[in-house]
A and B are shown apart, each in its own frame.
Chain A
Protein backbone atom coordinates (compact mmCIF):
# COMPACT_ATOMS: atom_id res chain seq x y z
CA UNK A 1 0.00 0.00 0.00
CA UNK A 2 1.39 3.39 -0.90
CA UNK A 3 1.77 6.17 1.66
CA UNK A 4 -0.94 8.14 -0.13
CA UNK A 5 -3.64 5.46 0.17
CA UNK A 6 -2.51 4.59 3.68
CA UNK A 7 -2.86 8.13 4.95
CA UNK A 8 -6.24 8.37 3.17
CA UNK A 9 -7.36 5.19 4.91
CA UNK A 10 -6.17 6.59 8.25
CA UNK A 11 -8.16 9.79 7.70
CA UNK A 12 -11.27 7.78 6.73
CA UNK A 13 -11.05 5.52 9.78
CA UNK A 14 -10.31 8.51 12.02
CA UNK A 15 -13.28 10.47 10.71
CA UNK A 16 -15.65 7.52 11.13
CA UNK A 17 -14.31 6.87 14.64
CA UNK A 18 -14.70 10.55 15.52
CA UNK A 19 -18.31 10.62 14.29
CA UNK A 20 -19.11 7.38 16.13
CA UNK A 21 -17.69 8.69 19.41
CA UNK A 22 -19.54 12.02 19.09
CA UNK A 23 -22.76 10.08 18.43
CA UNK A 24 -22.11 7.88 21.49
CA UNK A 25 -21.35 10.93 23.68
CA UNK A 26 -24.62 12.56 22.56
CA UNK A 27 -26.61 9.38 23.16
CA UNK A 28 -24.92 8.93 26.55
CA UNK A 29 -25.90 12.50 27.47
CA UNK A 30 -29.51 11.90 26.35
CA UNK A 31 -29.73 8.65 28.32
CA UNK A 32 -28.20 10.11 31.48
CA UNK A 33 -30.08 13.43 31.54
CA UNK A 34 -33.50 12.64 30.01
CA UNK A 35 -34.12 8.90 30.20
CA UNK A 36 -32.55 7.64 33.44
CA UNK A 37 -34.90 7.98 36.43
CA UNK A 38 -34.09 10.49 39.19
CA UNK A 39 -32.35 8.78 42.10
CA UNK A 40 -34.44 8.54 45.29
CA UNK A 41 -32.11 10.02 47.93
CA UNK A 42 -29.51 12.06 46.02
CA UNK A 43 -31.80 13.50 43.33
CA UNK A 44 -30.37 14.91 40.14
CA UNK A 45 -26.83 15.17 41.56
CA UNK A 46 -26.56 11.40 41.16
CA UNK A 47 -26.51 11.89 37.35
CA UNK A 48 -22.85 12.93 37.63
CA UNK A 49 -22.25 9.24 38.33
CA UNK A 50 -23.02 8.39 34.65
CA UNK A 51 -19.91 10.33 33.62
CA UNK A 52 -17.74 9.89 36.67
CA UNK A 53 -17.70 6.07 36.73
CA UNK A 54 -17.10 5.53 32.97
CA UNK A 55 -14.38 8.20 32.79
CA UNK A 56 -12.64 6.91 35.91
CA UNK A 57 -12.80 3.30 34.69
CA UNK A 58 -11.56 4.11 31.20
CA UNK A 59 -8.73 6.25 32.63
CA UNK A 60 -7.31 3.11 34.24
CA UNK A 61 -6.81 1.44 30.85
CA UNK A 62 -4.38 3.99 29.39
CA UNK A 63 -1.53 3.56 31.94
CA UNK A 64 -1.19 -0.05 30.72
CA UNK A 65 -0.87 1.26 27.16
CA UNK A 66 1.77 3.70 28.39
CA UNK A 67 3.76 0.93 30.09
CA UNK A 68 3.55 -1.35 27.05
CA UNK A 69 4.67 1.45 24.72
CA UNK A 70 7.54 2.43 27.03
CA UNK A 71 8.78 -1.17 27.30
CA UNK A 72 8.53 -1.50 23.52
CA UNK A 73 10.52 1.71 23.12
CA UNK A 74 13.33 0.50 25.39
CA UNK A 75 13.43 -2.89 23.68
CA UNK A 76 13.41 -1.50 20.14
CA UNK A 77 15.53 1.61 20.37
CA UNK A 78 18.80 -0.15 19.48
CA UNK A 79 17.29 -2.42 16.85
CA UNK A 80 14.65 -0.50 14.97
CA UNK A 81 14.63 3.20 15.75
CA UNK A 82 11.61 3.96 13.54
CA UNK A 83 9.40 1.45 15.33
CA UNK A 84 10.79 2.67 18.65
CA UNK A 85 9.79 6.24 17.77
CA UNK A 86 6.27 5.02 17.01
CA UNK A 87 6.15 3.36 20.43
CA UNK A 88 7.38 6.57 22.01
CA UNK A 89 4.63 8.58 20.28
CA UNK A 90 2.09 6.12 21.67
CA UNK A 91 3.60 6.52 25.16
CA UNK A 92 3.20 10.31 25.05
CA UNK A 93 -0.36 10.05 23.75
CA UNK A 94 -1.43 7.54 26.40
CA UNK A 95 0.21 9.48 29.26
CA UNK A 96 -1.51 12.69 28.24
CA UNK A 97 -4.92 11.03 27.99
CA UNK A 98 -4.33 9.41 31.41
CA UNK A 99 -3.75 12.84 32.94
CA UNK A 100 -6.78 14.29 31.11
CA UNK A 101 -9.17 11.51 32.12
CA UNK A 102 -7.98 11.33 35.73
CA UNK A 103 -8.40 15.12 35.98
CA UNK A 104 -11.95 14.83 34.65
CA UNK A 105 -12.76 11.96 37.01
CA UNK A 106 -11.32 13.84 40.00
CA UNK A 107 -13.36 16.95 39.11
CA UNK A 108 -16.65 15.12 38.52
CA UNK A 109 -16.05 13.19 41.74
CA UNK A 110 -15.58 16.41 43.70
CA UNK A 111 -18.72 17.95 42.18
CA UNK A 112 -20.64 14.89 43.33
CA UNK A 113 -18.99 14.66 46.77
CA UNK A 114 -19.73 18.24 47.79
CA UNK A 115 -23.57 17.90 47.87
CA UNK A 116 -23.64 14.21 48.84
CA UNK A 117 -20.84 13.89 51.42
CA UNK A 118 -20.77 17.60 52.31
CA UNK A 119 -17.04 17.83 51.55
CA UNK A 120 -15.14 18.29 48.31
CA UNK A 121 -12.43 15.84 49.19
CA UNK A 122 -11.61 13.14 51.71
CA UNK A 123 -8.43 11.12 52.18
CA UNK A 124 -10.13 7.82 51.61
CA UNK A 125 -8.27 4.88 50.03
CA UNK A 126 -9.65 5.07 46.53
CA UNK A 127 -9.44 8.86 46.29
CA UNK A 128 -5.89 8.97 47.60
CA UNK A 129 -4.65 6.25 45.26
CA UNK A 130 -6.35 7.92 42.35
CA UNK A 131 -4.80 11.29 43.19
CA UNK A 132 -1.40 9.58 43.35
CA UNK A 133 -2.01 8.04 39.92
CA UNK A 134 -2.68 11.55 38.63
CA UNK A 135 0.49 12.88 40.33
CA UNK A 136 2.63 10.09 38.85
CA UNK A 137 1.56 10.80 35.29
CA UNK A 138 1.86 14.55 35.74
CA UNK A 139 5.45 13.97 36.85
CA UNK A 140 5.91 11.77 33.76
CA UNK A 141 4.81 14.67 31.55
CA UNK A 142 7.13 17.02 33.48
CA UNK A 143 10.09 14.72 32.79
CA UNK A 144 9.22 14.80 29.12
CA UNK A 145 9.14 18.56 29.27
CA UNK A 146 12.33 19.16 31.24
CA UNK A 147 14.57 16.45 29.78
CA UNK A 148 17.26 17.44 27.31
CA UNK A 149 16.49 16.78 23.65
CA UNK A 150 17.64 13.36 22.56
CA UNK A 151 17.22 11.78 26.00
CA UNK A 152 13.57 12.58 26.62
CA UNK A 153 12.21 9.28 25.33
CA UNK A 154 14.62 7.04 27.25
CA UNK A 155 14.26 8.89 30.55
CA UNK A 156 10.48 9.05 30.20
CA UNK A 157 10.32 5.32 29.41
CA UNK A 158 12.37 4.55 32.54
CA UNK A 159 10.05 6.69 34.64
CA UNK A 160 7.01 4.99 33.10
CA UNK A 161 8.32 1.64 34.38
CA UNK A 162 8.79 3.10 37.87
CA UNK A 163 5.29 4.53 37.79
CA UNK A 164 3.77 1.24 36.64
CA UNK A 165 5.50 -0.66 39.47
CA UNK A 166 4.50 1.99 41.97
CA UNK A 167 0.78 1.96 41.17
CA UNK A 168 -0.06 -1.51 42.58
CA UNK A 169 2.10 -0.94 45.69
CA UNK A 170 0.42 2.41 46.34
CA UNK A 171 -2.99 0.88 45.79
CA UNK A 172 -2.30 -1.95 48.23
CA UNK A 173 -0.74 0.21 50.94
CA UNK A 174 -3.45 2.83 50.90
CA UNK A 175 -6.21 0.24 50.91
CA UNK A 176 -4.77 -1.10 54.17
CA UNK A 177 -4.77 2.40 55.49
CA UNK A 178 -8.39 3.51 55.14
CA UNK A 179 -11.58 3.19 53.04
CA UNK A 180 -15.20 5.88 52.35
CA UNK A 181 -15.70 5.59 48.62
CA UNK A 182 -19.01 3.92 47.64
CA UNK A 183 -18.73 0.19 46.93
CA UNK A 184 -18.62 -0.96 43.30
CA UNK A 185 -22.11 -0.71 41.82
CA UNK A 186 -22.04 -3.39 39.14
CA UNK A 187 -20.74 -6.25 41.25
CA UNK A 188 -20.49 -6.58 45.01
CA UNK A 189 -22.77 -5.12 47.67
CA UNK A 190 -24.10 -2.03 45.96
CA UNK A 191 -26.44 -2.60 43.05
CA UNK A 192 -27.64 -0.40 40.26
CA UNK A 193 -31.29 -0.46 39.14
CA UNK A 194 -31.82 -1.95 35.67
CA UNK A 195 -33.42 1.30 34.44
CA UNK A 196 -30.17 3.18 35.14
CA UNK A 197 -27.90 0.73 33.37
CA UNK A 198 -28.36 1.90 29.73
CA UNK A 199 -27.16 5.42 30.62
CA UNK A 200 -24.09 4.00 32.31
CA UNK A 201 -23.26 1.58 29.47
CA UNK A 202 -23.72 4.24 26.79
CA UNK A 203 -21.32 6.53 28.61
CA UNK A 204 -18.82 3.70 29.03
CA UNK A 205 -18.89 3.19 25.27
CA UNK A 206 -18.82 6.92 24.54
CA UNK A 207 -15.85 7.77 26.75
CA UNK A 208 -13.93 4.72 25.65
CA UNK A 209 -14.40 5.61 21.96
CA UNK A 210 -13.61 9.26 22.59
CA UNK A 211 -10.48 8.42 24.62
CA UNK A 212 -9.18 6.06 21.96
CA UNK A 213 -9.87 8.73 19.34
CA UNK A 214 -7.83 11.32 21.25
CA UNK A 215 -4.97 8.85 21.73
CA UNK A 216 -4.97 8.10 18.00
CA UNK A 217 -5.14 11.77 17.08
CA UNK A 218 -2.35 12.71 19.49
CA UNK A 219 -0.30 9.78 18.15
CA UNK A 220 -0.61 11.05 14.58
CA UNK A 221 0.33 14.59 15.65
CA UNK A 222 3.38 13.31 17.54
CA UNK A 223 4.44 11.18 14.56
CA UNK A 224 4.29 14.27 12.33
CA UNK A 225 6.35 16.23 14.84
CA UNK A 226 8.97 13.44 14.86
CA UNK A 227 8.99 13.41 11.04
CA UNK A 228 9.44 17.18 10.92
CA UNK A 229 12.30 16.95 13.43
CA UNK A 230 13.98 14.22 11.33
CA UNK A 231 13.62 16.30 8.16
CA UNK A 232 15.12 19.33 9.90
CA UNK A 233 18.04 17.28 11.20
CA UNK A 234 18.66 15.86 7.73
CA UNK A 235 18.62 19.34 6.17
CA UNK A 236 21.06 20.61 8.78
CA UNK A 237 23.45 17.74 8.03
CA UNK A 238 23.19 18.35 4.28
CA UNK A 239 23.79 22.08 4.75
CA UNK A 240 26.89 21.43 6.87
CA UNK A 241 28.22 19.08 4.18
CA UNK A 242 27.84 21.81 1.53
CA UNK A 243 29.80 24.31 3.60
CA UNK A 244 32.62 21.82 4.04
CA UNK A 245 33.19 21.46 0.29
Chain B
Protein backbone atom coordinates (compact mmCIF):
# COMPACT_ATOMS: atom_id res chain seq x y z
CA UNK B 1 0.00 0.00 0.00
CA UNK B 2 2.77 2.40 0.94
CA UNK B 3 4.35 1.58 -2.44
CA UNK B 4 1.40 3.19 -4.21
CA UNK B 5 1.37 6.15 -1.82
CA UNK B 6 5.05 6.77 -2.57
CA UNK B 7 4.45 6.35 -6.30
CA UNK B 8 1.62 8.83 -6.10
CA UNK B 9 3.78 11.29 -4.15
CA UNK B 10 6.52 11.14 -6.79
CA UNK B 11 3.95 11.43 -9.56
CA UNK B 12 2.19 14.44 -8.09
CA UNK B 13 5.56 16.13 -7.49
CA UNK B 14 6.56 15.65 -11.12
CA UNK B 15 3.18 16.82 -12.38
CA UNK B 16 3.28 19.93 -10.21
CA UNK B 17 6.80 20.80 -11.36
CA UNK B 18 5.79 20.29 -14.97
CA UNK B 19 2.63 22.36 -14.51
CA UNK B 20 4.72 25.26 -13.26
CA UNK B 21 7.44 25.13 -15.92
CA UNK B 22 5.80 23.22 -18.81
CA UNK B 23 9.29 22.55 -20.21
CA UNK B 24 8.87 18.92 -21.28
CA UNK B 25 5.42 19.20 -22.81
CA UNK B 26 6.29 22.30 -24.83
CA UNK B 27 9.55 20.76 -25.94
CA UNK B 28 8.01 17.47 -27.05
CA UNK B 29 5.14 19.20 -28.80
CA UNK B 30 7.31 21.60 -30.77
CA UNK B 31 9.84 18.91 -31.63
CA UNK B 32 7.21 16.53 -33.02
CA UNK B 33 5.61 19.37 -35.00
CA UNK B 34 9.02 20.06 -36.54
CA UNK B 35 9.40 16.39 -37.47
CA UNK B 36 5.95 16.49 -39.13
CA UNK B 37 7.00 19.56 -41.15
CA UNK B 38 10.36 18.10 -42.13
CA UNK B 39 8.76 14.88 -43.38
CA UNK B 40 6.29 16.87 -45.47
CA UNK B 41 9.31 18.22 -47.40
CA UNK B 42 10.13 14.70 -48.56
CA UNK B 43 6.79 14.16 -50.31
CA UNK B 44 3.57 16.07 -50.91
CA UNK B 45 1.03 14.50 -48.55
CA UNK B 46 -1.98 16.60 -49.63
CA UNK B 47 -1.79 15.62 -53.31
CA UNK B 48 -1.60 11.89 -52.63
CA UNK B 49 -4.03 10.85 -49.86
CA UNK B 50 -3.39 7.10 -50.12
CA UNK B 51 0.38 7.59 -49.79
CA UNK B 52 -0.22 9.92 -46.84
CA UNK B 53 -2.33 7.25 -45.16
CA UNK B 54 0.28 4.57 -45.81
CA UNK B 55 3.17 6.43 -44.22
CA UNK B 56 1.40 8.63 -41.66
CA UNK B 57 1.56 5.97 -38.93
CA UNK B 58 5.31 5.62 -39.29
CA UNK B 59 5.93 9.38 -39.35
CA UNK B 60 3.74 10.01 -36.31
CA UNK B 61 5.59 7.40 -34.25
CA UNK B 62 9.04 8.44 -35.44
CA UNK B 63 8.24 12.03 -34.48
CA UNK B 64 6.95 11.00 -31.07
CA UNK B 65 9.94 8.71 -30.55
CA UNK B 66 12.51 11.42 -31.27
CA UNK B 67 10.58 13.96 -29.22
CA UNK B 68 10.26 11.58 -26.24
CA UNK B 69 13.98 10.78 -26.39
CA UNK B 70 14.91 14.46 -26.21
CA UNK B 71 12.53 14.99 -23.29
CA UNK B 72 13.54 11.81 -21.45
CA UNK B 73 17.18 12.83 -21.60
CA UNK B 74 16.23 15.58 -19.16
CA UNK B 75 13.88 13.39 -17.12
CA UNK B 76 16.30 12.78 -14.25
CA UNK B 77 18.33 15.96 -14.48
CA UNK B 78 16.47 17.67 -11.64
CA UNK B 79 17.01 14.68 -9.33
CA UNK B 80 20.64 14.49 -10.29
CA UNK B 81 21.33 18.20 -9.90
CA UNK B 82 19.95 18.27 -6.38
CA UNK B 83 21.48 14.96 -5.29
CA UNK B 84 18.02 13.47 -4.80
CA UNK B 85 19.01 10.02 -6.05
CA UNK B 86 21.43 9.65 -3.12
CA UNK B 87 18.66 10.72 -0.75
CA UNK B 88 16.35 8.16 -2.33
CA UNK B 89 18.96 5.46 -1.74
CA UNK B 90 18.96 6.27 1.97
CA UNK B 91 15.20 6.53 2.33
CA UNK B 92 13.07 3.52 3.34
CA UNK B 93 10.67 3.90 0.38
CA UNK B 94 11.07 1.39 -2.43
CA UNK B 95 13.21 2.69 -5.34
CA UNK B 96 10.74 1.34 -7.89
CA UNK B 97 8.10 3.75 -6.57
CA UNK B 98 10.33 6.61 -7.69
CA UNK B 99 10.73 4.98 -11.09
CA UNK B 100 7.03 4.25 -11.53
CA UNK B 101 6.04 7.79 -10.54
CA UNK B 102 8.50 9.25 -13.03
CA UNK B 103 7.43 6.87 -15.81
CA UNK B 104 3.73 7.63 -15.29
CA UNK B 105 4.47 11.38 -15.29
CA UNK B 106 6.39 11.10 -18.57
CA UNK B 107 3.59 8.97 -19.99
CA UNK B 108 1.05 11.68 -19.16
CA UNK B 109 3.24 14.37 -20.80
CA UNK B 110 3.65 12.43 -24.04
CA UNK B 111 -0.05 11.49 -24.07
CA UNK B 112 -1.03 15.15 -23.65
CA UNK B 113 1.18 15.99 -26.62
CA UNK B 114 -0.47 13.25 -28.67
CA UNK B 115 -3.91 14.71 -28.06
CA UNK B 116 -2.74 18.05 -29.45
CA UNK B 117 -0.62 16.56 -32.21
CA UNK B 118 -3.13 14.08 -33.66
CA UNK B 119 -5.63 16.69 -35.01
CA UNK B 120 -2.81 18.93 -36.27
CA UNK B 121 -1.27 15.95 -37.97
CA UNK B 122 -4.58 15.00 -39.61
CA UNK B 123 -4.97 18.56 -40.92
CA UNK B 124 -1.44 18.98 -42.25
CA UNK B 125 -1.35 15.57 -43.91
CA UNK B 126 -4.90 15.81 -45.18
CA UNK B 127 -5.55 12.49 -43.48
CA UNK B 128 -8.83 10.63 -43.98
CA UNK B 129 -8.54 7.47 -41.90
CA UNK B 130 -10.46 4.58 -43.39
CA UNK B 131 -10.54 2.22 -40.44
CA UNK B 132 -11.90 2.25 -36.92
CA UNK B 133 -10.11 5.27 -35.38
CA UNK B 134 -11.42 4.40 -31.91
CA UNK B 135 -8.77 1.67 -31.89
CA UNK B 136 -6.13 4.42 -31.90
CA UNK B 137 -7.27 5.25 -28.36
CA UNK B 138 -5.95 1.81 -27.44
CA UNK B 139 -2.86 1.75 -29.68
CA UNK B 140 -1.52 5.19 -28.76
CA UNK B 141 -1.41 4.69 -24.97
CA UNK B 142 0.02 1.17 -25.27
CA UNK B 143 2.72 2.33 -27.67
CA UNK B 144 3.48 5.44 -25.65
CA UNK B 145 3.87 3.41 -22.48
CA UNK B 146 6.28 1.04 -24.26
CA UNK B 147 8.45 4.00 -25.31
CA UNK B 148 8.24 5.84 -22.02
CA UNK B 149 8.76 3.00 -19.56
CA UNK B 150 11.95 1.80 -21.26
CA UNK B 151 13.02 5.36 -22.00
CA UNK B 152 12.75 6.42 -18.36
CA UNK B 153 14.66 3.32 -17.33
CA UNK B 154 17.50 3.78 -19.80
CA UNK B 155 17.70 7.48 -19.01
CA UNK B 156 18.37 6.44 -15.40
CA UNK B 157 20.81 3.75 -16.56
CA UNK B 158 22.84 6.20 -18.62
CA UNK B 159 22.60 9.00 -16.09
CA UNK B 160 26.22 9.06 -14.99
CA UNK B 161 27.62 7.94 -18.34
CA UNK B 162 29.73 9.98 -20.68
CA UNK B 163 27.68 11.02 -23.76
CA UNK B 164 24.43 10.26 -21.98
CA UNK B 165 22.39 12.27 -24.51
CA UNK B 166 23.75 9.99 -27.21
CA UNK B 167 23.50 6.80 -25.19
CA UNK B 168 19.72 6.93 -24.56
CA UNK B 169 18.57 6.57 -28.19
CA UNK B 170 21.30 3.99 -28.84
CA UNK B 171 19.84 1.80 -26.09
CA UNK B 172 16.16 2.63 -26.46
CA UNK B 173 15.83 2.09 -30.21
CA UNK B 174 17.03 -1.53 -30.46
CA UNK B 175 15.14 -2.60 -27.33
CA UNK B 176 11.83 -1.00 -28.38
CA UNK B 177 12.07 -2.21 -31.97
CA UNK B 178 9.37 -4.91 -31.59
CA UNK B 179 7.05 -2.40 -29.91
CA UNK B 180 7.75 0.18 -32.62
CA UNK B 181 6.96 -2.43 -35.26
CA UNK B 182 3.71 -3.26 -33.46
CA UNK B 183 2.53 0.34 -33.06
CA UNK B 184 3.46 1.37 -36.60
CA UNK B 185 1.81 -1.70 -38.11
CA UNK B 186 -1.34 -1.32 -36.01
CA UNK B 187 -1.64 2.44 -36.66
CA UNK B 188 -1.07 2.03 -40.40
CA UNK B 189 -3.57 -0.83 -40.37
CA UNK B 190 -6.21 1.38 -38.79
CA UNK B 191 -5.51 4.29 -41.14
CA UNK B 192 -5.46 2.30 -44.40
CA UNK B 193 -7.67 -0.74 -43.67
CA UNK B 194 -5.23 -2.77 -45.77
CA UNK B 195 -4.56 -4.97 -42.77
CA UNK B 196 -7.03 -7.56 -41.60
CA UNK B 197 -8.61 -6.60 -38.22
CA UNK B 198 -7.36 -9.92 -36.88
CA UNK B 199 -3.78 -8.79 -37.50
CA UNK B 200 -4.42 -5.41 -35.94
CA UNK B 201 -5.73 -7.22 -32.87
CA UNK B 202 -2.63 -9.40 -32.75
CA UNK B 203 -0.33 -6.35 -32.98
CA UNK B 204 -2.25 -4.75 -30.11
CA UNK B 205 -1.85 -7.93 -28.09
CA UNK B 206 1.88 -7.90 -28.86
CA UNK B 207 2.08 -4.31 -27.61
CA UNK B 208 0.20 -5.18 -24.44
CA UNK B 209 2.44 -8.18 -23.79
CA UNK B 210 5.54 -6.08 -24.45
CA UNK B 211 4.30 -3.44 -22.00
CA UNK B 212 3.61 -5.96 -19.26
CA UNK B 213 6.94 -7.76 -19.69
CA UNK B 214 9.12 -4.67 -19.79
CA UNK B 215 7.27 -2.83 -17.02
CA UNK B 216 7.94 -5.84 -14.79
CA UNK B 217 11.60 -6.02 -15.78
CA UNK B 218 12.08 -2.27 -15.25
CA UNK B 219 10.47 -2.36 -11.81
CA UNK B 220 12.58 -5.36 -10.79
CA UNK B 221 15.88 -3.99 -12.06
CA UNK B 222 15.52 -0.31 -11.16
CA UNK B 223 16.89 -0.78 -7.61
CA UNK B 224 19.98 -2.43 -9.15
CA UNK B 225 20.55 0.55 -11.43
CA UNK B 226 19.95 3.09 -8.67
CA UNK B 227 22.42 1.32 -6.39
CA UNK B 228 24.95 0.53 -9.12
CA UNK B 229 28.43 0.81 -7.69
Residues of A within 8 A of B (CB): 74, 132, 135-136, 139, 142-143, 146-148, 150-151, 154-155, 158-159, 161-163, 165-166, 169-170, 172-174, 176-177
B224/A173 in contact, CB under 8 A:
no
Q: Which of B178, B210, B224 has the most CB of A within 10 A?
A: B178
Distance between Cα atoms of A165 and B179 in the complex (Å): 13
A173/B182 in contact, CB under 8 A:
yes
B174/A135 in contact, CB under 8 A:
yes
> A143-B167, A155-B157, A159-B157 are known contacts. Are A166 and B174 too (CB-CB below 8 A)?
yes
A139/B185 in contact, CB under 8 A:
no
B185/A132 in contact, CB under 8 A:
no
Q: Which listed residue, B181, B213, B224, touches A165 by the CB 8 Å rule? A: B213
* Count, chain B residues at interface, CB 8 A: 32
Q: Which listed residue, A132, A146, A162, touches B158 by the CB 8 Å rule? A: A146
B175/A155 in contact, CB under 8 A:
no
A169/B213 in contact, CB under 8 A:
yes
Min CB–CB distance A72 → chain B (angstroms): 14
Q: Known pairs A132-B174, A154-B229, A158-B225; list 8 more (Cβ under 8 Å).
A: A143-B167, A147-B160, A150-B229, A155-B228, A161-B221, A162-B221, A165-B213, A169-B209
Distance between Cα atoms of A177 and B225 in the complex (Å): 34
Chosen A-B contacts, 19 in total, with CB atoms closer than 8 Å, are A135-B174, A136-B175, A139-B170, A143-B161, A143-B171, A146-B161, A147-B160, A148-B160, A151-B229, A161-B217, A161-B221, A163-B174, A165-B217, A166-B178, A169-B178, A169-B213, A170-B177, A173-B178, A176-B206
A139/B171 in contact, CB under 8 A:
yes
Min CB–CB distance A136 → chain B (angstroms): 5
Distance between Cα atoms of A161 and B225 in the complex (Å): 12
